[in-house]
Amino acid sequence: MTISFEQLSEYEKQAKPFALCTIVESCGSTPRHVGSKMVVFAEGISYGSIGGGEVEELARQIAVESLATGEAKLFSYDVMPSSDKDNLEGGSIKVFVEPMLPRNHIVVIGAGHIGKAVAWLAKWLGFHVTLVDDRPELCNREANPYGDAFIAAPMEEAVKMLHLTPFTSVVLATRSLDLDVIAIPHLLEQTPSYIGVLGSKKRWAMTCQALTNMGIAPQRLTEIHAPIGLDVGAETPEEIAISIMAEIIKAKKDKTGLK
């Protein structure tokens, strides 16, 4: 089975990490030749072929390790002479294993002044930006040219349309506590790497109480960053955006934020 560029493009659209194993050098008699590809997902499932048997098992192991570390690998494998009807004399191949990690994705819920500033900075930092708001006049490319995708719908509908992955960060910059209470249970059902909520400590306490009354376990709420952002004394929307994106980067890199 040969992996096509169309298939690779489809895997990337699914925002699911995979490793691409490609034969980059081939000498002697080998079952597959330069350019042959195999895709390996984090759980070890593979598609395509670089020769079968031991070499593919080795490639799967290296690919899973590569996905865990984010580092590319190059390995060599000697193909032993075969005694079957093909009568291969043996040879060697080199395989390049490249982790294909999804582009960082941020969902900004609330397209007001702060949401717009966050979208602008996130876009500059290389994130794919999805904007969500129930006000169509704010949630469109003309009003916010930094967005890549827009969901202009009531909160109850909008959050059900989101597909969040471990490569997604979510910023709740809504105009009311009631909107946060609608959104958060749906966000917790998925697996974003980061959820942050804008607002004062008092507002967050009231939000937690409302969510607890709805049956959300208090322990789940500790997974949320609130109030959102690092304490840098931010006041303007742009400064607040910097504090938010700094916290998201800190969380992604698993750092302390200290010198």
pLDDT per residue rounded down to tens, the chain (259 residues): 667 777 777 777 777 789 999 999 988 877 788 989 999 998 888 888 888 888 899 999 999 999 888 899 999 988 776 555 454 567 888 999 999 888 889 999 999 999 999 999 999 999 999 999 999 999 999 999 999 999 999 999 999 999 888 889 999 999 999 999 999 999 999 989 999 999 999 999 999 999 999 999 999 999 999 999 999 999 999 999 999 999 999 998 888 887 7
Closest Cα to residue 157, out of 122, 182, 138? Answer: 182
Query: CATH 3.40.50.720 region(s) of the chain?
Result: 105-253
Cα torsion at 236, 126, 171, 202 (round to 10°)? Answer: -40
- Is the domain spanning 105-253 CATH 3.50.50.60? The answer is no
- CA dist list (Å): 91 to 27, 184, 194, 247: 5, 57, 48, 51
Alpha carbons 68 and 65: distance in angstroms, whole number:
5
* pLDDT given at position 236: 96
